[in-house]
Amino acid sequence: MASIINGKEIGQQIRQSIADRVVKLKEQGVTAGLAVILVGDNPASQTYVRNKQKSCEAIGIYSELIKLPEETKEEELLEHIKTLNNRQDIHGILVQLPLPKHINEDNVIATISPDKDVDGFSPISVGKMMLGQDTFLPCTPFGVMKLLEFSGVELAGKHAVIVGRSHIVGKPMGQLLLQKDATVTYTHSKTKDLPSFTKQADILIAAVGRANFITSEHVKPDAVVIDVGINRDENNKLVGDVDFTDVEPIASHITPVPGGVGPMTITMLLYNTVQSAENTLQQDK
């Protein structure tokens, strides 16, 4: 039976330490501030944004929501970002994805100041991460690294296999593991004989976006299995990319869905926002 990696509990521990840092900033006259821009009425996006705002309020971060209609022009959105780039009370800027099809996401992400890119998506942030330089790390992979750290999972010399190659999770995940001396293999939808790769994994990261896709035939005994997926099954139940019931008996550690990686994504967003506020304070000295 696997040890369950509880993202809610670990996230709560980290949030407590972030809250302590928020208090210290306020003592020095700085309130960490996060601005979120939401374009359109995507229900999932609205839920994510609400959760982010509640999480900010819970630990004393100032949160500002800018809601724009679906038909907002790209130029108008970019102007909002430029205004936020220049505001001293805003330390983090997040544009909720996905955006309407007429808006170029790359242009939007590139317009956010790297000093306020708390999502870790900008080309500058990604480049610095690749080089192992100090920067904001993308929140979901960063959260996974914290889960592994808090669970005492040794990474050096271990074989990590990632299923998925998105810019948001798969690609950066591999880089962060590499920096901790893991040996990394990327797999994806075009990989032939996927189980032959995944069964070699000491640490298996599933970020493929397909409900219950990873089964026991993909997993070697005693592997650490991290499930990044959030899907709805045929009964509209929230499930991950990993068939938990099938895989849990043979894994050494496993994350549940919900309650595994999910809570860590917002936790690391809070972490990055407070880090940005602290950076501003350092620059002012």
- For the stretch 237-265, pLDDT in tens is 999 999 999 999 999 999 999 999 999 99
Q: Is 60 annotated as a binding residue?
A: no
Regarding whether 218 and 167 lie in a shared domain, the answer is: yes
In a domain, 107, yes or no: yes
In a domain, 5, yes or no: no
Q: How far apart are CA 98 and CA 77, in angstroms?
A: 14
CATH code for position 227: 3.40.50.720
Domain span including residue 256: 139-262
Regarding whether 143 and 212 lie in a shared domain, the answer is: yes
Q: Which of 113, 131, 160 lies at the terminal end of a domain, its last residue?
A: 113
In a domain, 73, yes or no: yes
- Within 8 A by CB and 6+ apart from 282, the residues are none
Q: How far apart are CA 68 and CA 49, in angstroms?
A: 13
Regarding whether 79 and 154 lie in a shared domain, the answer is: no
At residue 88, the pLDDT reads 96
Regarding whether 162 and 108 lie in a shared domain, the answer is: no
CATH code for position 75: 3.40.50.10860
Q: Is 11 annotated as a binding residue?
A: no
Regarding whether 204 and 93 lie in a shared domain, the answer is: no
In a domain, 16, yes or no: no
Q: Is 157 annotated as a binding residue?
A: no
In a domain, 126, yes or no: no
Regarding whether 144 and 245 lie in a shared domain, the answer is: yes
In a domain, 283, yes or no: no
Q: Is the pLDDT of residue 284 over 90?
A: no
How many residues would you count in the chain?
A: 285
Q: Is the pLDDT of residue 182 over 90?
A: yes
At residue 235, the pLDDT reads 87
pLDDT band at 285 (very low <50, low <70, confident <90, very high): low
Q: Is the pLDDT of residue 199 over 70?
A: yes
Q: How far apart are CA 55 and CA 62, in angstroms?
A: 10
In a domain, 124, yes or no: no
Regarding whether 82 and 158 lie in a shared domain, the answer is: no
Mean pLDDT (whole number) for 111-138: 97
Q: Rg for the chain (alpha carbons), in Å?
A: 19
Mean pLDDT (whole number) for 39-68: 94
Q: Is the pLDDT of residue 177 over 70?
A: yes
Mean pLDDT across the chain: 96
In a domain, 121, yes or no: no
Q: How many domains does the chain have?
A: 2
Positions marked active-site: 52, 96, 119
pLDDT band at 147 (very low <50, low <70, confident <90, very high): very high
Q: Is 230 annotated as a binding residue?
A: yes
Paired strand residues for 239: 231
Regarding whether 207 and 155 lie in a shared domain, the answer is: yes
CB neighbours (10 Å) of residue 131? 9
pTM of the model as a whole:
0.95
